[in-house]
Structure 1
Amino acid sequence: MDWDKLRIFHAVADAGSLTHAGERLNLSQSAVSRQIRALEESLGATLFHRHARGLILTEQGELLFDATRAMTKRLEAAAARIRDSEEEVFGELKVTTTTGFGSLWLVPRLAKFYEKYPDLKIDLMLEERVLDLPMREADVAIRMKEPSQADLIRKRLMGVRMRLYASPDYLRMHGAPEVPEQLTAHRLICQNPRAPQVSAGASLVAHLMTYQPHSTLTVNNYFGVLQGVLAHLGIGVLPEYLSHDFPEMQRVLPEVESNEVPVFLAYPEELRQSRRIAAFRDFVQAEIAAQRRQQRGKAAE
């Protein structure tokens, strides 16, 4: 099968238009159209339904687009490995993690990473949906459970527990509960039970709800929960790693916490030799180790 025709087909399928594909490929619309017709003739199949508002893939076109999309991802992976030199870390690195961990832990630390690797471009995707690493939806992921996808290299970074925190102002105004039963006099701030979240956190929230808090504020991510705590709205259920960066928060009911949530870093096997991923992995591990040392130092004081 002609690679050039497949490249043009992929551009048309992705753009949904002969004109837009031609602009991307620096080809005329008529040249693109001729290549598509020739490909359809060689396959003996119609690849597009042609409408006034654009092109829609036929069933056969969808099958071919799935194949060219996979080929494109593999070629991008190969190109990324080729671009990684022995001495430099540059290019684009696509990182995915959860909204809470990404916005509250990772982003505030990236200044040091950019100082070391100023030519690196990071595309950070914060969402609860698990992206497909083997299909290169992202290069590297940090997730709150061990990834189940095949052909991934996995590294356990740390374990996290969900705990209860409140601001000093809130506790001065409302007092600190000494036993869980006293939550009936407080507002509980937590993730919405319907929002995607780690099962250990959901289980802890379900348990706390049995004590019938006086009021609740539910948010669909931990960033919102943290803002509620810092605004003195109530007692929040938050991951323990936030206590390092927000030391003004005070832990409430220290005997109450979730089961441990494992945090994993993962990336495709085919990117094992990537200098960019190695640099990012080593940076994250070093930051976690530094945080642990500081926490041990405070505990020893």
Structure 2
Amino acid sequence: MTTSQLAWDDFRLVKTIAEARGLTGAAAALGVNHSTAFRRLGQLESALGVKLFDRHRTGYVLTTAGEEMCAIAERMDEDINGFARKIAGQDIAPAGELRVTTSDSLLVHLLIPIFADFRERYPEIRLDLVLSNQALNLSKRDADVAIRATDSPPETLVGRRLATINWAFYGRRSDFPDPHVPDLVTLYDRDWVSLGDNLSGLKVAKFVRDHVAPEKVAAKLSTVLGLAEAIEAGIGIGAIPCVIGDPHPGLRRLSDIRPEFSASLWLLTHPDLRRSARVRVFLDFVAGEIGSRRALIEG
């Protein structure tokens, strides 16, 4: 191979190795084995006559030449994804695959029946649901639509704010037969369930850290999904979204809405995709269905 024969796959190889900081992760991402990735990198460096990576204990680090090649790969990737988005945004009929990302708790406690009704209305649209508690990159087509609880949606996306997800404190109904709301201070000596360290930045997690002794936190979960079930099982009391807690027959609300824990529910897409027929009908349908459930979501 000569430098005049460089192809997109060569640039993608360098970019993927840089992102993975090594051959093992890059090979997995590219769908090849380790020896193939090693051989391709060696051939590329030999053809260019320069090293693209320095090999360290901590992983592969880009050289100056590698950084330049990686920067070109980023621009190429952006151009390719931009073209793909524009083509996807030109479809006429609402049909084909629609990739939707949301959190596991929103899917289970709110969205499944909405998606079922959507499929009944638009059977030609197939849903590819990506469950992640982290924001995916819609610019790179990791997803076409995102349904997220956030107060800071990315400026690169367009969408609609649908509702406020409000939270309150809940306990097992059998432990609190009296519907009278107790004084919150009296609850701090009880066992609690809370969010895990991966979600420690959320205000609700900080509240528990500030008010409940560590030995009273009986369990921590790395996702909102499962909090209601842990409370109903008697592991402890805790804060959960009202859309989860209020319909739950085994739970009793122990406080008024805690507005400091609330977050906005957003329906987001990339500007290049909002004119796509399948994206447009999905946005309109989901917005309408969530709107009809707004009172439940806001507690």
> What is the TM-score of this pair, normalised by structure 1?
0.70
| Secondary structure at the counterpart of residue 226 of structure 2 | helix
CA–CA separation in structure 2 for the residues paired with 1:22 and 1:190: 38
Check conservation: 2:146, 2:267, Cα contact below 8 A: yes
Corresponding residue for 2:20? none
Question: Residues 177, 71 of structure 1: CA spacing in aligned structure 2 closer, same or farther, 3 A cutoff?
Answer: same
Aligned length: 280
Specify the code of the residue in structure 2 equivalent to 1:238. Answer: I
Specify the code of the residue in structure 1 equivalent to 2:205. Answer: A
Cα deviation per residue 1:192-216 (whole Å; 9 max; x = unaligned)?
A: 3x33266442354356538x99664
Q: CA deviation at 1:113?
A: 2.9
Check conservation: 2:228, 2:245, Cα contact below 8 A: no
For residue 112 of structure 1, the aligned residue among 105, 114, 117 is 117
Corresponding residue for 1:122? 128
For residue 204 of structure 2, the aligned residue among 198, 201, 205 is 201
Specify the code of the residue in structure 2 equivalent to 1:233. Answer: I
* Structural mapping, 1:11-22, within 5 Å: 11-13=12-14, 14=16
CA–CA separation in structure 1 for the residues paired with 2:282 and 2:215: 42
Question: Residues 205, 74 of structure 1: CA spacing in aligned structure 2 closer, same or farther, 3 A cutoff?
Answer: farther
Check conservation: 2:170, 2:238, Cα contact below 8 A: yes
For residue 180 of structure 1, the aligned residue among 163, 184, 192 is 184
Corresponding residue for 1:240? 242
Check if 1:267 corresponds to 2:261.
no
| Secondary structure at the counterpart of residue 222 of structure 1 | coil
For residue 48 of structure 2, the aligned residue among 29, 40, 62 is 40
CA–CA separation in structure 2 for the residues paired with 1:213 and 1:47: 51
Question: Residues 208, 107 of structure 1: CA spacing in aligned structure 2 closer, same or farther, 3 A cutoff?
Answer: farther
* Structural mapping, 1:20-35, within 5 Å: none
Specify the code of the residue in structure 2 equivalent to 1:40. Answer: L
Unaligned runs of 5+ in 2: 18-22
Output the aligned Cα RMSD. Answer: 4.5
Question: Residues 271, 39 of structure 1: CA spacing in aligned structure 2 closer, same or farther, 3 A cutoff?
Answer: farther
Q: Percent identity at matched positions?
A: 20
CA–CA separation in structure 2 for the residues paired with 1:291 and 1:3: 59
Check conservation: 1:165, 1:250, Cα contact below 8 A: yes
Q: CA deviation at 1:23?
A: 9.3
Specify the code of the residue in structure 2 equivalent to 1:209. Answer: V
Unaligned runs of 5+ in 1: none
Question: Residues 181, 20 of structure 1: CA spacing in aligned structure 2 closer, same or farther, 3 A cutoff?
Answer: closer
| Secondary structure at the counterpart of residue 199 of structure 2 | coil
For residue 60 of structure 1, the aligned residue among 51, 65, 75 is 65
Q: CA deviation at 1:228?
A: 0.3
Corresponding residue for 1:90? 96
